[in-house]
Chain A
């Protein structure tokens, strides 16, 4: 009875919040651009009323993000015809009687240089590996690793830490009720290195090891180190648990950014302390969706941003978050000029562009990262680059997913639905077919899934409010702020190109029936409008696997429509591209035209 009473009270409080919080201003401070979006209740449903963009002003000469934020809000005011700022630039909150202002603010930040992180632990394959996985849940650039079983002596480890000048030190080690002295030894090295730094340059230290040592660690090292504690990332030798520590590393990242970037403190104040790193917030929304959905599949999010590519995958509410600052669209692209990496980009070119021109584009993009492709050739390179970045992130992410999750084999993306995709490169494609093909080529899902495009970068901001205001998150996910691309059925198998591999029938709500035969190497679509559902009967041929129980096994699915209807991808997994360049260009065009019909 007591539990039920508490739950009711919680729902009542939530309802009060929803009624009170009629308007929500979402501010995203990106590496190069700041976005502002206003959501308000229209007929008791949250809707996107307008959005605006302005350059981020974190760097020289302004070096204060508030300037860019105010620019952005002023543009938004112009778009929606409503005053949001007072004359001297303060946000009007709560709403004034004349309707100006907002009732709530959610904010995220991805601006700032990649973080320098030291990961320390006892054994490289155990606690250090988990500390590294934790570091990759935030914007980790350079990383130095120290461990007890390293061949480096203590002085070399201290020098390595000092050379890096870390923002964060993550110390892991000691399973629960495990090692004690070895953990202190590792901490001693970190302690000595930090003592050699100026007070103002000392990093935040996160201990994510044997929890029984927390008090003793605070007692021994707390006077000189700013130590924070999180749940053990390696509670047993064969168990890795990053969830609690991921949240902590997100909080530490936020604090570092607030200290690094002028104006974020004020923004955090506007958001009632709710400012979050964009990646952490993006992870939150994926975790939220996963908690609310079926347990048979996970939920996946990909954000291809200027500063990093983020992959968030959640199963039953357990989030795996990976941030790849080296794989941002505007990251230092010089490493891509190495022949192997360059080949990774050029294989995705949809037209004949000399390698020299691709190199030129990548180098110039490093100089002018905010450039939008203006020519057909530049657009082809940008889209090839996006595919390569997604593939690279997927490859690196393989080991990060928990064991035993449902999939069509280790080499393939595990079964996930939906896949939520963010990023300017997807939002500004000439057509939705371009965006979907970039995602399909990059992610190469198997079985049935749905794709949701986030053209305004709203998902991360929803993550910043998901826990406090789940209603807003749910309603906005179903609102005009997102584009539901539709359902995609991806087949796994091997057959000669052109061989029939699937017969499908789509029967919509009005019993209207469409039949299609899919041939190996092709992609096709069936019309099904957004918001509509239909029965899709699948009859795989040639022992192709449609994710319904094994090779050759078919069945009937209830599928959701979208802007791209129902797409059936018969190009195989992994996707094999023709080796001859001319044939490859022709194939890319054929695939694109098949979806643009």
Chain B
């Protein structure tokens, strides 16, 4: 059976497609080196329109009105520019009520698109542009540590990584620690508003948390800095491997892209610690099948977040709650053996 894959890899090649949801202008070129906050492309997501009834405005029959329109589709106009006319003794005209662009002339109707603030798509990771996506964005490549997460609040930032204790008092005492300035903080767990408050008072650019209490999700969602949750919600014990990997790179530059998970295109929150690569560094596999010795992470209680290896794939098994499901026999890293439904496992690449 195909397994969902989560990447937690000490050195890999990372390729990411960053595109606008609507057509726009690409602002980078192929081969360009970029940083995570560089704007790749910009466009207008939902511009406002004004519909002008030219026949009504000029006081003439609608069949005549089209001939009186002097603007062309695509022409940019400023407030007061003449769009149609003049007609009649009084030289009646229709003028642009605001700055904008003529986007449609349909019979006697003219549609003006108001100028609006553009939306942008940022790189999300430092690297090189290896491919342009016409009118939408680009593909960026880099190498380094890649750790994929489960949930993000939509922001991107980078800074030096600081692995701290989840203890609220310790976090409070570090509020004035200059070393943390512009940093990205990693803690194992955040389950109290007081802890979150203490974290929010740190002079940091982003938060990276192994697990987060469900009650804190509304507050974290509106924080102006990126917050990435690595595995899930509730109190989930951080696995040693991830903690060791992060501790190894403590103090190094890390980028967290806390974008929302999108199953259709495979986007998910992730953290990247850029490292020099070489030709031997490969991209992680996108497709993995559950098989013996496959490294997996459990993604449901009571083993949530635990890493282990598959010892065997089993058919339908009766679970402790009476439900029947296909399971795998897992040897967890703590030496415990257990049966977990295949649906509740992620392959770790």
Interface hub of A61, A62, A191, A362 (most chain B Cβ within 10 A)? A61
Closest chain A CB from B56 CB (angstroms): 12
Judge if B175 is at the interface, Cβ distance under 8 Å: no
Q: Which of B50, B232, B320 contacts A155 (CB 8 A)?
A: B50
Q: Which of B217, B232, B286 contacts A61 (CB 8 A)?
A: B286
Q: Are B46 and A159 in contact (CB under 8 A)?
A: yes
Q: Given A155-B49, A158-B49, A375-B302, do A430 and B232 touch, yes or no (CB 8 Å)?
A: no
Q: Which of A58, A60, A163, A360 contacts B46 (CB 8 A)?
A: A163
Q: Are A375 and B48 in contact (CB under 8 A)?
A: no
Residues of A within 8 A of B344 (CB): 368, 371-372, 374
**Residue of A with least CB distance to B261:** A367
Q: Given A54-B2, A57-B2, A363-B217, do A195 and B325 touch, yes or no (CB 8 Å)?
A: no
Closest chain B CB from A297 CB (angstroms): 33
A-contact 0/1 string along B260-296, CB 8 Å cutoff: 0101111000000000000000000011000000000
Judge if A178 is at the interface, Cβ distance under 8 Å: no
Q: Which of B1, B111, B325 contacts A428 (CB 8 A)?
A: B325
Q: Are B49 and A374 in contact (CB under 8 A)?
A: no
Residues of B within 8 A of A356 (CB): 213-215
Q: Are B109 and A430 in contact (CB under 8 A)?
A: no
Judge if A59 is at the interface, Cβ distance under 8 Å: yes
**Residue of B with least CB distance to A334:** B217
Residues of B within 8 A of A378 (CB): 300-301, 321
Q: Are B150 and A367 in contact (CB under 8 A)?
A: yes
Q: Are B341 and A364 in contact (CB under 8 A)?
A: no
Q: Are B264 and A60 in contact (CB under 8 A)?
A: yes
Interface hub of B46, B51, B151, B261 (most chain A Cβ within 10 A)? B51
Complex-state Cα separation, A353 to B28, whole angstroms: 53
Q: Are A60 and B263 in contact (CB under 8 A)?
A: yes
A-contact 0/1 string along B51-83, CB 8 Å cutoff: 100000000000000000000000000000000
Judge if B299 is at the interface, Cβ distance under 8 Å: yes
Q: Are A192 and B51 in contact (CB under 8 A)?
A: yes
B-contact 0/1 string along A356-398, CB 8 Å cutoff: 1101101110011011111111110000000000000000000
Judge if B234 is at the interface, Cβ distance under 8 Å: yes
Q: Are B321 and A374 in contact (CB under 8 A)?
A: yes
Judge if A516 is at the interface, Cβ distance under 8 Å: no
Q: Given A192-B111, A364-B233, A374-B344, do A430 and B322 touch, yes or no (CB 8 Å)?
A: yes
Q: Are A372 and B341 in contact (CB under 8 A)?
A: yes
**Residue of A with least CB distance to B221:** A334
Judge if B104 is at the interface, Cβ distance under 8 Å: yes
Residues of A within 8 A of B325 (CB): 372, 428
Residues of B within 8 A of A60 (CB): 263-266, 286
Residues of B within 8 A of A155 (CB): 48-51, 111
Q: Are A59 and B233 in contact (CB under 8 A)?
A: no
Within 8 A of A (CB), among B1-47: 1-2, 23, 46-47
Q: Are A196 and B104 in contact (CB under 8 A)?
A: yes
Judge if B103 is at the interface, Cβ distance under 8 Å: yes
Q: Are B320 and A196 in contact (CB under 8 A)?
A: no
Q: Are A373 and B215 in contact (CB under 8 A)?
A: no
Closest chain A CB from B168 CB (angstroms): 18
Give chain A's interface residue range (CB within 8 Å of chain B).
35 or more
Complex-state Cα separation, A155 to B322, whole angstroms: 58
- Interface size counted on chain B using CB atoms at 8 A: 47
Q: Which of A162, A163, A192, A337 contacts B109 (CB 8 A)?
A: A192
Interface hub of B151, B232, B321, B340 (most chain A Cβ within 10 A)? B321
Judge if A346 is at the interface, Cβ distance under 8 Å: no
Q: Given A373-B321, A374-B319, do A159 and B300 touch, yes or no (CB 8 Å)?
A: no
Q: Are A363 and B106 in contact (CB under 8 A)?
A: no
Within 8 A of B (CB), among A390-412: none
**Residue of A with least CB distance to B233:** A363
Judge if B324 is at the interface, Cβ distance under 8 Å: yes
Complex-state Cα separation, A102 to B81, whole angstroms: 69
Q: Are A430 and B323 in contact (CB under 8 A)?
A: yes
Closest chain A CB from B252 CB (angstroms): 28
B-contact 0/1 string along A126-139, CB 8 Å cutoff: 00000000000000
Q: Given A363-B233, A375-B302, do A62 and B109 touch, yes or no (CB 8 Å)?
A: no
Residues of A within 8 A of B286 (CB): 60-61
Q: Are B264 and A374 in contact (CB under 8 A)?
A: no
Q: Are A375 and B287 in contact (CB under 8 A)?
A: no
B-contact 0/1 string along A284-296, CB 8 Å cutoff: 0000000000000
Residues of A within 8 A of B301 (CB): 374-375, 377-378
Q: Are A368 and B104 in contact (CB under 8 A)?
A: no
Residues of A within 8 A of B104 (CB): 192, 195-196
Q: Which of A58, A162, A370, A379 contacts B321 (CB 8 A)?
A: A379
Q: Are B263 and A196 in contact (CB under 8 A)?
A: no
Q: Which of A57, A195, A357 contacts B234 (CB 8 A)?
A: A357
**Residue of B with least CB distance to A220:** B107
Judge if B343 is at the interface, Cβ distance under 8 Å: yes
Q: Are A191 and B106 in contact (CB under 8 A)?
A: yes
Complex-state Cα separation, A159 to B47, whole angstroms: 7
Complex-state Cα separation, A505 to B134, whole angstroms: 75
Within 8 A of A (CB), among B287-335: 287, 299-302, 304, 319-325
Complex-state Cα separation, A92 to B96, whole angstroms: 65
Residues of B within 8 A of A196 (CB): 49, 103-104, 111, 113
Interface hub of B113, B301, B340 (most chain A Cβ within 10 A)? B301
Residues of A within 8 A of B322 (CB): 379, 429-431
Residues of A within 8 A of B319 (CB): 372, 374
Q: Are B287 and A62 in contact (CB under 8 A)?
A: yes
Q: Given A192-B104, A195-B104, A372-B344, do A59 and B263 touch, yes or no (CB 8 Å)?
A: yes
Judge if A444 is at the interface, Cβ distance under 8 Å: no
Residues of A within 8 A of B341 (CB): 371-372, 374
Q: Given A57-B2, A158-B51, A367-B151, do A374 and B261 touch, yes or no (CB 8 Å)?
A: no
Q: Are A368 and B323 in contact (CB under 8 A)?
A: no
B-contact 0/1 string along A397-438, CB 8 Å cutoff: 000000000000000000000000000000011110000000
B-contact 0/1 string along A52-83, CB 8 Å cutoff: 00110111111000001001000000000000
Complex-state Cα separation, A429 to B113, whole angstroms: 56
Judge if A198 is at the interface, Cβ distance under 8 Å: yes
Complex-state Cα separation, A363 to B236, whole angstroms: 14
**Residue of A with least CB distance to B113:** A196
B-contact 0/1 string along A445-461, CB 8 Å cutoff: 00000000000000000
**Residue of B with least CB distance to A164:** B46
Q: Are A372 and B343 in contact (CB under 8 A)?
A: yes
Residues of A within 8 A of B214 (CB): 337, 356, 359-360, 362-363
Residues of B within 8 A of A278 (CB): none
Within 8 A of B (CB), among A179-204: 188, 191-192, 195-196, 198
Q: Which 4 A-B pairs have the closest CB atoms?
A: A430-B322, A60-B266, A61-B286, A360-B234
Q: List 8 A-B contacts (CB under 8 A).
A: A60-B266, A155-B49, A162-B49, A188-B106, A195-B104, A364-B234, A367-B151, A372-B344
Q: A188-B106, A337-B214, A428-B324 given; name 11 further pairs at CB < 8 Å.
A: A68-B2, A155-B51, A158-B51, A196-B113, A360-B233, A367-B233, A368-B299, A368-B344, A372-B323, A372-B344, A431-B322
